[in-house]
Amino acid sequence: MGAAGPAARAPEGAADDPALRVPRLLEAVRSVGSGLELHSKLDRICETAAELTDARYAAIGVVDASGDGLADFVPHGVDEETARRIGRRPDGHQGLLGALIRDPDPVVLADLTDDPRSCGFPAGHPPMRSFLGVPIRVQGEIFGNLYLADKRGGPFGDEDLAMVKVLATEAGIAIGHARLYEAAKQRERWIDGSVAVTTALLAGGDAEDVLGTVAEQARRLSGSAAGIVLLPTEDGGLEVVAVASDRPSDVLGVVVPPESELVGELREGNPVFLADASADPRMRTELTRAYGPVMMLPLESDGRVLGALLTPRSRDGRQFTGTERSVAGQFASQAALALILAETQRDRERLAVYEDRDRIARDLHDLVIQRLFATGMTLESAQRRSDVPEVRRGIGKAVDELDVTIQEIRTAIFALRQGPAETPSVLSTRVLREINMAAVPLGFQPGHRFEGPVDTRVGELTAKNLIAALREALSNAFRHAGASRIEVTVDADAELPDGRPGVRLEVADDGVGIPEGGRRSGLRNLARRAESLGGASWHGPGIGADGGGTTVVWQVPH
């Protein structure tokens, strides 16, 4: 029943000598009461109980929040190799351990294999005969049970039971103190995590960085295998937008459909706790099937659900405690507030962009077009007065060019005055819209070129992701490159390296390029988005004459 070394044996005859056992019991009580870290305290209780009763094996099963299973199992007396052969630790839903949870009274058995409540041992489990089980109560509530097995020299006696009861009582008091201390430390850590999220936001980090910080802090603070942030999709589902994991993950961009029962619960603002995601029938995607216990929390503020936060643990991980669920819920509320602040900041920036665009549109209409009209009228007057045919033809050509220029400016004015709800459906116009929007903060107009039938060949899902990739690439060029020239190319006749037809987006700038060790989260995001569509993304030297700048290539199937 454990991964620690065998229990230390008492001196010969000490286990049966009351005069020697009382001082040992007092010393054991003192030992159990020292320290505040809960898990190390449980280890010490197991070791002390085994030593007092001369038992080979000891364990503490911590009852879960529902009261019908084990949230944690702390063993002692079995080496690591044997523990590995045994495999998954007991969950308390069956057998003698489950019976003690449902009926928490002391149990003493000379041979547990004869008890009808015992359902046998898993393969690799060491043989055990004698058994003693005592409940541990913390502030009147059942915390768990202390199990002892295989007493050396015979079965457990009344004196063993009496000593273990005393030890269990003192253990309950010590565990109560340790739980209060650990809960306080947990709250302190989660508050620090909330501060980190707010700091990332106030430091001017973009939305991707803030969401990444939320995921990483949630993973670290909850002791989970991953932290996952999901945001709502237009059709009512939830899309994975940030992942922090202790192992490689390909779930970024995965969409959980709105038909999922879990999505419905989260979007209504209800937290969801899964005991084992790998076996839960409500899991419709592969998002968490590789995990065990999962905590799903809505990112909710003022009755508005902005997304969801998932913290899955490994399959053999312990269940989330009540304290962990409580403090994680508070963290999720803080994270939701940070998202609202980030959204407000983006709206403010978007409003500034639209105000600039309105101003530019007014200036183009009121100043530039009027001056071009006046210039055209002057040229037409000069054309009528000229007697030289070559001069008349040259002036006429100049007037025609001015008319074309006026029409182009009017088109630009119309594009500048389009609102966010008027997003065009054809890909080429959506690309031009992104370029025009980027021109305001850049201070210049990026060049563009279309190759092939981009409006008819590229599917809507690919087009949506291409626009997101273009926006990311233009944002990177504006924020980090210091570029004075950007060229955007969309090629619908491109060919993927494996020969499949695809669409290729290329954004080249003449900026400073990416320094060694520089920030590459944007490029990684582009790569993940391309991989989710079966394509790829890479970057190389830009269009600067001195070899500087960056060319980002994003290529996926149609």
Q: What is the 3-state secondary structure (H, E, C) of 149-199?
A: EEECCCCCCHHHHHHHHHHHHHHHHHHHHHHHHHHHHHHHHHHHHHHHHHH
Identify the pLDDT of residue 22: 64
Among the ranges given (25-34, 338-347, 377-386), the one the predictor scored with the smallest mean pLDDT: 25-34
Residue 419 confidence (pLDDT): 54
**How far lies 491's CA from each of 121, 304, 446, 534, in Å?**
64, 41, 17, 17
* Nearest in space to 491 (alpha carbons), one of 425, 428, 551: 428
CA distances from 16 to 50, 233, 475 (A): 14, 69, 78
Long-range contacts made by residues 18-22, C-beta under 8 angstroms, separation at least 24? 18/159, 21/52, 21/159, 21/163
| CA 388 distance to own-chain centroid | 75
3-state class of 91 per DSSP? coil
- Mean pLDDT (the chain) is 77
Confidence of residue 414 (pLDDT cuts 50, 70, 90): low
The CA–CA distances, whole Å, from 137 to 169, 236, 323 equal 7, 46, 18
Count, residues in the chain: 558
What predicted TM-score, i.e. pTM, was given to this entire model? 0.47
pLDDT, greater one: 98 or 9: 98
Strand partners, 57: 149
* Domains defined along the chain, listed by start: 14-183 (3.30.450.40), 186-339 (3.30.450.40), 427-558 (3.30.565.10)
Cα separation, 165 vs 136, in Å, equals 9
pLDDT band at 14 (very low <50, low <70, confident <90, very high): very low
Give Cα 39 distance to the centre of its chain: 27
**What is the pLDDT averaged over residues 465-486?**
83
Query: Is residue 172 a contact partner of residue 136, using CB atoms and an 8 Å limit?
Result: yes
The CB density around residue 333, as the number of other CB atoms within 10 Å, is: 16
Tell whether the model's pLDDT for residue 376 goes beyond 80.
no
> Tokens for 250?
């390909």
Q: Is the pLDDT of residue 505 over 90?
A: yes
Instruction: For 285-421, list the strands marked E by DSSP.
Output: 294-301, 304-312
Mean pLDDT over 214-218 rounds to 84
Higher pLDDT, 544 or 338: 338
Say if CB 505 and CB 489 are below 8 A apart. yes
Q: What is the pLDDT of residue 516?
A: 60
How many whole angstroms separate alpha carbon 83 and alpha carbon 285? 32
Range of lowest pLDDT (78-82, 164-168, 432-436): 78-82
Residue with tokens 């010393």: 27
Number of Cβ within 10 Å of residue 63's Cβ equals 22
Amino acid at 44: R
Cα separation, 362 vs 368, in Å, equals 9
pLDDT at position 237 over 60: yes
C-alpha 423/C-alpha 430 separation (Å) is 7
Alpha carbons 246 and 225: distance in angstroms, whole number: 6
Confidence grade of residue 252 (pLDDT, cut at 50, 70, 90):
confident
Q: Poorest-confidence range of 89-103, 231-245, 408-422, 475-489? A: 408-422
